[in-house]
Structure 1
Amino acid sequence: MKEPKVHVGILFEPQIEFVLLNTYLIDGTEISGKQVVTYDEGKILWNGRRYEELLFEPRHEQTDAFELLDVTIGINFHWERKEDQRFLGALKIIVENGKLTGINVIRVEDYLTSVISSEMSATASLELLKAHAVISRSWLLAQIQKNKEITETHADYSAFTQTEEELIRWYDREDHTRFDVCADDHCQRYQGITRASTDIVKQAIAATRGQVLTSDGKICDARFSKCCGGAFEEFQYCWEDIKYPYLAKQRDYRTENGKADNGTLPDLTREVEADRWIRTSPKAFCNTTDKKILSQVLNNYDQETTDFYRWKVEYTQDELSKLIKERSGIDYGQIIDLIPVARGTSARLWKLKIVGSQRTLTIGKELEIRRTLSPSHLYSSAFVVDKEDISPEGIPGRFILTGAGWGHGVGLCQIGAAVMGEQGYKYDAILLHYYIGANIDKLYE
């Protein structure tokens, strides 16, 4: 197998401005400098002419670069902002959903060099960076393969079910049909060569070149999140109802003999156990406040968040009822209760009943819950609810959400893996802690 190329959706705007920093080719014609393309009557308007699609190809693939202006990063998160970003490889412009989409076409290993630098600090330990290189490569190639299967078989990956009593949906990268992955946290954070890659990142990519995680002869869908909160979540509680053996229940801790400490992991699908787990601070790899370790995993804007292993959010009645209406588009009236219905193996809720004075509805899965209960995204759906200042009519005046972890908790826990790296674990041991029973195989040289 040759090293594949990946199509990464970067920018989705009615007008895209970019600068070709070197000489690029389009239909054999050389071009460079600042360019502007505009959506116009279902086509791309560029230099006075309309096109169905444009492809600007570098003359020298390893060194030629272009700059996209005003790229939005952190879409719908609390750190959302715009910045100019630089990329190696080719730039494709297509028409999609009444806008233009800017796509970077780049070799997988070059893509990964950026992903590791974008997802994590380049000061991370070599073993952590190697582990992340393998999972990022695995996840990417698994998604490309899955997309190919969907296209060829017309498989139905429906992510939405609704009845009068329930609204259950999940969000995955099947949202993208005209490119492989997007550049934001929805897929993998990718910011080209905007953030310089250090020698240690390049070393980690080179040392693991072509390596992927596999299970039963297939590339693993190697998910990862910032902080599992002490226990791993299983895939089916966050996305479609598929149980992967390598994304299984386990505590994020190992005993002195190196074995996973599952003996002390309670059944967090049970409400009484979940409540106790979330309100305490059990020992785990990711239970750390070590700034040196955290700085390896968290970029500057991620460090704006300081509480992630255990956290609290408080809302008044007015704040919560208004927030839920704005975020869901459903008017529940005053919020009477938030009732846990179903939890996964890390205590993350995948079904939550919202009881209002006008409407009652059970929602899920975990990301839908997080989006509904926060102006951006709640840190995780592993939380318990306390109600205060309850009126004679039974209407709470205040809700307190006490929670655990940051993100969906499936697969590798970045903060836990950083701690393992500092404690001397090699990258393969880190990987096989988070992806249970998986293998590490080399796809291409």
Structure 2
Amino acid sequence: MSRQPEIQVGILAEKVITFELDGHYSLKEEMSGSRFQAELSGGEIVLSSGSGQQMKGKEFIFQASSAADSFLLEGVTIGIDFHWEQKENQRFRGDLKLTVEGEKVRAINLVLLEEYLRSVISSEMSATSSPDLLKAHAVISRSWLLAQIKKSEQLKAGTTSYASVQQIEGELIRWYDREDHQHFDVCSDDHCQRYQGITKIINEKASRAIDETFGEFLMLGDETCDARFSKCCGGVSENFENVWEPVQHSYLTEVVDSEYGETTGMDLRREEEAEEWIRSSPYAFCNTTDAQVLAQVLPDFDQATTDFYRWKVSYTQQQLAALLLKKSGIDFGQIIRLEPVERGHSARLIKLRVVGVKKTMVIGKELEIRRTLSESHLYSSAFVVDHHDVQDGIPQRFELTGAGWGHGVGLCQIGAAVMGEKGYSYEQILKHYFRGAELKKIY
């Protein structure tokens, strides 16, 4: 690859989208003004300008004339399905593409990869982050993105088969990854990587990290690594195939988040050992309460969270039964038990059996379990359950004790932040979390 690619980032999809252009944008068809509205009607986009002009079509592309041009999208939802979900106006550089997506208009930002990364690293990381944490994150974000683009190309070409749901009698296994995005390469929210264009200040340290790692990727031979990251692994990272499709990546496997050895001495796939691990608080890079370190990784609205390494959640019988009905659409009746069926290498549940008076069902994988057991997202699926106050065989309260925050695959952001503070280089951080991968400059 001789130069960086242009990527397509899905920003929002709505019945009506309002936006403003700042600079010199061109459209194939002449249309004056800087403020526009795009509305879906009869399967087509009706584009209206502030001056009253209108035109219809299936797709429109507003092309920027210079790197300084930008556009403002109103009412972009951030933190989708999380407790802090909200709308805000966001500004982006590059081109704006409008296309039909189902019953909505989809707004897509066409932007060069490195420019995209400046926003991602500024959004995901704090300006207080250590230079090597920022560089490590730049490399994995760049690598993950290119891997997704190549995967999308294979899916479109029909050279790769993909299914994200496996359902048999009494069992529903689902994962969430590529299947959501068919009209663009990546989305702008936490489902992919948090991208807010130039809405937030592009901090100088993040920009320098992009420049100093420009074109550097994690590679396994000629393959770009599908590099992943989560907030906190909980002490051990998870294998890729236990969270997403059943494909093994040698660089996304169990890693003990410590400098003291390759193993915990425990097999966390075994229930007894998983329970001992989760109920304890073993040493790990990510086992920290250092506010200065946490501020490097957690945005303002997450910094109130301090119980991510080990945590507890409690439900009454009524709360849990209602929640399961709401999130799964299945009426289990009163809940008798939540039973672990299968765990991964980090003690994260791959399959969980929900036993109810009316229905019993096994659910998985990791994110499906987290979505089903929380109004937003449970911190992780690495948890054990205590059934309290059992009356006539029916528990009246359920307490979940858990470990970690996120899926746990690949780089652990909090662990990497601690490593950066301890003086590890970005090359050492990447080598720790992505075993066997090599750092290569490809453009």
Per the shorter chain, which TM-score range? over 0.9
Would you say the 8 A contact 1:173–1:187 is kept in 2?
no
Would you say the 8 A contact 1:21–1:32 is kept in 2?
no
- In structure 1, how many angstroms separate the alpha carbons of the residues matched to 2:59 and 2:163? 29
2:14 is matched with which residue? 13
- Residue 22 of structure 1: how far off its partner (Å): 1.6
Q: 1:58 aligns with which of 59, 64, 68?
A: 64
- In structure 1, how many angstroms separate the alpha carbons of the residues matched to 2:76 and 2:241? 33
Taking only aligned residues, the RMSD between alpha carbons, in angstroms, comes to: 1.1
- Residue 273 of structure 1: how far off its partner (Å): 0.6
Return 242-251 or 361-370, whichever deviates more: 242-251
2:433 is matched with which residue? 434
TM-score (norm 2): 0.97
Measured against aligned partners, the alpha-carbon deviations of 1:298-353 in whole angstroms (never above 9, x if no partner) come to 11122243321011000000000000000000000000000000000100001000
- In structure 2, how many angstroms separate the alpha carbons of the residues matched to 1:31 and 1:113? 31
Say which SS state the counterpart of residue 389 (structure 1) adopts: strand
Q: What is the count of residue pairs matched by the alignment?
A: 437
Alignment-mate amino acid for residue 33 of structure 1: S
2:150 is matched with which residue? 145
Alignment of 1:251-330 (within 5 A): 251-255=256-260, 261-330=261-330
2:28 is matched with which residue? 27
- In structure 2, how many angstroms separate the alpha carbons of the residues matched to 1:250 and 1:82? 37
Say which SS state the counterpart of residue 146 (structure 1) adopts: helix
2:164 is matched with which residue? 159
1:242 is matched with which residue? 247
Alignment of 1:73-112 (within 5 A): 73-112=78-117
1:129 is matched with which residue? 134
2:51 is matched with which residue? none
Would you say the 8 A contact 2:239–2:254 is kept in 1?
yes
- Residue 163 of structure 1: how far off its partner (Å): 1.4
- In structure 1, how many angstroms separate the alpha carbons of the residues matched to 2:265 and 2:15? 50
1:258 is matched with which residue? none
Say which SS state the counterpart of residue 300 (structure 2) adopts: coil
Gap change, CA 1:413 and 1:32, over 3 Å in 2: farther
Measured against aligned partners, the alpha-carbon deviations of 1:52-72 in whole angstroms (never above 9, x if no partner) come to 101011110x21111111100
- In structure 2, how many angstroms separate the alpha carbons of the residues matched to 1:177 and 1:304? 36
Query: Structure 2: where are the runs of 5+ without partners?
Result: 49-53
- Residue 154 of structure 1: how far off its partner (Å): 4.9
Measured against aligned partners, the alpha-carbon deviations of 1:50-91 in whole angstroms (never above 9, x if no partner) come to 11101011110x211111111000000111000111100000
- 1:414 lines up with 2:410 in the alignment: no
- Residue 31 of structure 1: how far off its partner (Å): 4.5
Gap change, CA 1:358 and 1:423, over 3 Å in 2: same
1:211 is matched with which residue? 216
Query: Structure 1: where are the runs of 5+ without partners?
Result: 256-260
- Residue 148 of structure 1: how far off its partner (Å): 0.5
Would you say the 8 A contact 1:122–1:197 is kept in 2?
no
Alignment-mate amino acid for residue 405 of structure 2: W
Say which SS state the counterpart of residue 441 (structure 1) adopts: strand
- In structure 2, how many angstroms separate the alpha carbons of the residues matched to 1:340 and 1:28? 59
- In structure 2, how many angstroms separate the alpha carbons of the residues matched to 1:95 and 1:301? 34
2:231 is matched with which residue? 226
Would you say the 8 A contact 2:278–2:401 is kept in 1?
yes
Would you say the 8 A contact 2:164–2:179 is kept in 1?
no
- Residue 121 of structure 1: how far off its partner (Å): 1.1
Alignment-mate amino acid for residue 58 of structure 1: A
Measured against aligned partners, the alpha-carbon deviations of 1:236-255 in whole angstroms (never above 9, x if no partner) come to 00001111111111210003
- Residue 23 of structure 1: how far off its partner (Å): 2.2
Would you say the 8 A contact 1:91–1:102 is kept in 2?
yes
- In structure 1, how many angstroms separate the alpha carbons of the residues matched to 2:325 and 2:15? 29
Alignment-mate amino acid for residue 316 of structure 1: T
- In structure 2, how many angstroms separate the alpha carbons of the residues matched to 1:174 and 1:211? 27
Alignment of 1:177-192 (within 5 A): 177-192=182-197
- 1:118 lines up with 2:123 in the alignment: yes
Alignment-mate amino acid for residue 46 of structure 1: L
Measured against aligned partners, the alpha-carbon deviations of 1:105-144 in whole angstroms (never above 9, x if no partner) come to 0000000000001111122111000000000000000000
Say which SS state the counterpart of residue 111 (structure 1) adopts: helix
Alignment of 1:29-44 (within 5 A): 29=30, 31-44=32-45
- In structure 1, how many angstroms separate the alpha carbons of the residues matched to 2:385 and 2:86? 31
- In structure 1, how many angstroms separate the alpha carbons of the residues matched to 2:63 and 2:30? 10
Would you say the 8 A contact 2:138–2:210 is kept in 1?
yes
Say which SS state the counterpart of residue 286 (structure 1) adopts: coil
Say which SS state the counterpart of residue 390 (structure 1) adopts: strand
Would you say the 8 A contact 1:339–1:353 is kept in 2?
yes
Identical residues among aligned pairs (%): 56
Measured against aligned partners, the alpha-carbon deviations of 1:274-301 in whole angstroms (never above 9, x if no partner) come to 0011001000000000000000111112
Return 331-340 or 246-255, whichever deviates more: 246-255
Alignment-mate amino acid for residue 332 of structure 2: Y
- In structure 2, how many angstroms separate the alpha carbons of the residues matched to 1:118 and 1:416? 18
TM-score (norm 1): 0.97
Gap change, CA 1:101 and 1:75, over 3 Å in 2: same
- Residue 28 of structure 1: how far off its partner (Å): 6.5
